[in-house]
Chains A and B, each alone.
Chain A
Amino acid sequence: MTNTRDGRRPGSNEGRLRVGTGRASAHHGELLQGVFEGADGRLHRGLITLPCPVFTSTATFWPRLGSGITTRPAGRDKASRAATLTLERLSLPQIGGELTIESTVPMGHGYGSSTADVVAAIRATAAAARVTLRQETVAALAVAAETASDPLAYEGLPVLFAQREGLLLELLGPAFPPLIIVGCNVAPDQPVDTLLTSPARYGSDEIETFRVLSGLARHAVAAGDARLLASVATASACISQRHLPKPHFDKLSDLARGTGACGLQVAHSGTLIGLLFDGAESHARRRAAEAASHLAAHGLLSVITYELGVEGTP
């Protein structure tokens, strides 16, 4: 049973419901995706998401008595389900309401638009009930609402997350190393529905390779080493290329080398590819800008450049 911040049972709280808002950022695909051994000794499908705070989804929940949730825009079923599950979790099944989603996250390209909506909706609903939820609760509710879900509930923390179970496999460290990401969409006309793409069936060598990749990811995060983390992302992207190949992958690999990027990452079930630059390197911003203009010159669309944990003014 979740208690409210002031210690009262949420069920006794309906008189105090208010309009709640919640927010969640997008991601830019993954640094690593595969299967990983958990503390239970079993294999879990898992991933390390690359946060993308450039895009956000904001949800507002107007509660009212009586069940049923309507969304604006209409038909945001996953977000609506998330709000319903959150109300059930807070023992407020008699409450319904209206959920408004305002999102800048492009849909269907691997930015995690639906997860961002779902997490924002869970937060908005909890805020309406004046309840603070733990990150793991938000993550579990998000997975329950949409079957597979990225760990946006962890607000940019470097986590290895089992996206189909809502399980935190490992907190890799306090923060990502400084990264500059130059991303693009290699197939903007072929949006991917994560749930319709069947999960990759990995071979024995790949399954064992994922041990090494998660081990190096943990070292890279602890050491604040962007280059090593980019090596992990590159290896994971190459494995992904065997399962869900992306157009222009080889061209972008060459471009990564040619522009001094330290690696590249992909949205494993989307159409994004990002070149990764070491934010601790003195010429990283200039190199990233050059790479961005190369991508645009190659006719690639939705080119974005953003920074993660880099100090100083861009």
Chain B
Amino acid sequence: MRARWRHSYLDGYATPRLAKLAPNLVAACFPLMKLLPARFMLDRAEARGELMPGGHIVETTSGTFGLALALLAAVRGYRLSLVSADTLLDASLQRRLVALGARIEIVPDADKTGAQRARLARLEAIRSGHPEAWWPQQYDNPDNPRAYARLAELLVRTLGAVDCLVGPVGSGGSMCGTSAFLREVFPAMRTVAADTHRSVLFGHAAGSRLLRGLGNSLVPQNVDHSAFDEVHWVGGLQAFAATRRLHREHGIFAGPTSGAAVLVASWHARQHPDQLTVVILPDEGHRYQDTVHNDDWLLALPGWPAVEAAGPLELQHLAPLGEATWTCIAWQRRSLDAARRDFGDGLAPDALT
């Protein structure tokens, strides 16, 4: 038995604890969800010979995917170069990445949209200098969603049928992957996205976002819009309040994307008492000790404390609102084009290109 036991320390980061938040609501709480796709993408790249022993990995990241890569690169002996933006990477995470041996390049993000294009341009520059380097491409690599069969497996093994899946969307890997695998056996399962205002993922015009870690200023290939039955836009203030409530009421110390997802999922579970809702919580609260989990930081935010919304404002048109609001649309498995056609409006011209 001893010889067959194969788990590494890092496996624990990618394995969620399941917690019951209500009789019909289960949370899958990851210490570091992004390790799941990072490990799978690396395994596959190694198997295909795209990543050789001692090789070089390059990626652009807003944080947790970079941490996952840095952990794996350290343990497996790869060189790692990460491109991030000054609004995305806090000092303590940056210190941790450096301690793990990663090389970090920071691009400025004056308008606080995540500087996605500037990051990609910087990444291209690195890649042209290092043509042998392997780029995981978490936004477009199909091994990102594919990695989530392991989450789907854990859910069905433990819970059996799942009626509704709720979670934050950034690259789309976790929600679109988990949802696709669960629908192999439960085709009628509902899939609900937690996004935030002024993320372009579901048709808003790009703009400044208070809530980071979900949403995007580009639309990745890994977002399969037709997977989603419902889309919610949770403002930063609502997400932060929900994150603190999650800690206070359940002892779950999580990041703000988890708070946003739990806000949506709790509401959904109350609306559908006869269905089992599962919600994905991608990371823990440690990285947010000085921000979302710090009262002084919150009090300095305009509009804090916000009145916690009892439910979303249901929209007929795609329209970003303020950080204190929470909105939703019955997406009904539309493509992005179909949603733009059907829900139009609220779009700045540049988001249509």
Contacts and interface: CB of A to CB of B under 8 A. Distances in A.
Given A39-B4, A209-B181, A212-B185, A225 B146 contact: no
Contacts of B184: 209, 212-213, 235
A220 B160 contact: yes
Given A219-B158, A225-B160, A212 B4 contact: no
B197 to A, nearest CB: 33
Nearest to A210: B149
Interface string B179-207: 00110111000000000000000000000
B149 A212 contact: yes
A215 interface: yes
Contact of B156 (A41, A205, A215): A215
Contacts of B160: 216, 219-220, 223, 225, 228
A157 B6 CA distance: 28
A298 B156 CA distance: 36
B161 A215 contact: no
Contact of A204 (B146, B153, B161): B146
Contacts of B157: 215-216, 218-219
A208 interface: yes
B146 A212 contact: no
A232 B185 contact: yes
Interface residues on B, range: 20 to 34
Interface in A187-209: 204-205, 208-209
Contacts, number: 55
B185 A235 contact: yes
A219 B152 CA distance: 13
Nearest to B147: A208
Contacts of B4: 39-40
Given A40-B4, A204-B146, A228-B161, A215 B186 contact: no
A56 interface: no
A192 B184 CA distance: 28
Contact of B6 (A41, A209, A235): A41
A231 B146 contact: no
B247 interface: no
Contact of B149 (A39, A209, A220): A209
B187 to A, nearest CB: 9
Contacts of A234: 185
Interface string B28-58: 0000000000000000000000000000000
11 contacts: A208-B146, A211-B152, A211-B153, A212-B152, A212-B181, A212-B184, A212-B185, A215-B152, A215-B154, A228-B185, A231-B186
Interface of B: 4, 6, 142-143, 146, 149-150, 152-154, 156-161, 181-182, 184-186
Interface of A: 39-41, 204-205, 208-209, 211-216, 218-220, 223, 225, 228, 231-232, 234-235
